[in-house]
Amino acid sequence: MLIILGGLPASGKTTIARALATHFGAVHIRIDTIEQRLRDLPGMKDHVGEAGYRVAYGVAEDNLRVGGHVVADSVNPLAITRAAWRAVADRAKVPFIEIEIVCRDANEHRHRAESRISDIAGLVAPRWQSIVARDYEAWVEEHRIIDTAGRTVGDVIDEAIAIVAGAPGGGDAGAGVTRR
C-alpha cells in the first residue's frame, strides 16, 4: 500500500509519517531528506527542482513492487505531484490512500514553524512567511484530512492509523506488524 501524505511545513506530516511507517512496517520516504542530500552535491545547491520528487517516486515504486508498504512524506503542493504519486501506486498495482495534514489554528501552526529545529543536517526549515506564501493548490481529489491543531500527538497518530487501517488494502498494510 502507498500512503500519500501532504500538507504545509510544520503541520505534523513527518511525525505522522514516522508513526505510520513504524506501525505498519512501511518504508518512510521523506522528500526533505532527499532534496537536502541533492543540495549537498557539488553544483546542486540551487538546482534541485523536481529531482527530489522524481527520486522519491522511483524509490517508492521499487519498494511497492517487492511487496513493501510506503509512506510518502512531502508537502505535495500541486495537483501534478499528487497525480504522480497515484501513478506510482497504479504502476505498482497497489492500493493507495491520500491524507492531507493541516493545522487550522494559524497561531499554533506559526509557533510550530518558528520553534522547530531541523533534524536533517544542513536543512534550514522554512520561515513562517514562506510557509503561508507557498504555492499550495487546493486538493480536489478524494482524500482524508487530519487537523493536528489543539490535539495531542498520540490522538493524531491514532486517527492516522485508523484511517489507513480502514482504507481498502489498509488492513493488509499492518498484517504481522506489532500494534502500538
Tens digits of residue pLDDT in 120-177 = 887 788 899 999 999 999 999 999 999 999 999 999 999 999 999 998 877 665 543 3
pLDDT: which is higher, 145 or 47? 145
Identify whether the C-beta of residue 26 lies closer than 8 Å to the C-beta of residue 3.
yes
Contacts of 9 (CB under 8 A, 6+ apart): 75, 113, 125, 126, 131, 134
Per-residue pLDDT tens for 80-122?
Answer: 999 999 999 999 999 999 999 999 999 999 999 999 888 888 7
- Residue 52 and residue 38: Cα distance in Å, rounded? 7
What structural domains does the chain harbor? Answer: 2-172 (3.40.50.300)
pLDDT of residue 179: 29
Is a pLDDT exceeding 50 seen at residue 30? yes
- Residue 15 and residue 84: Cα distance in Å, rounded? 23
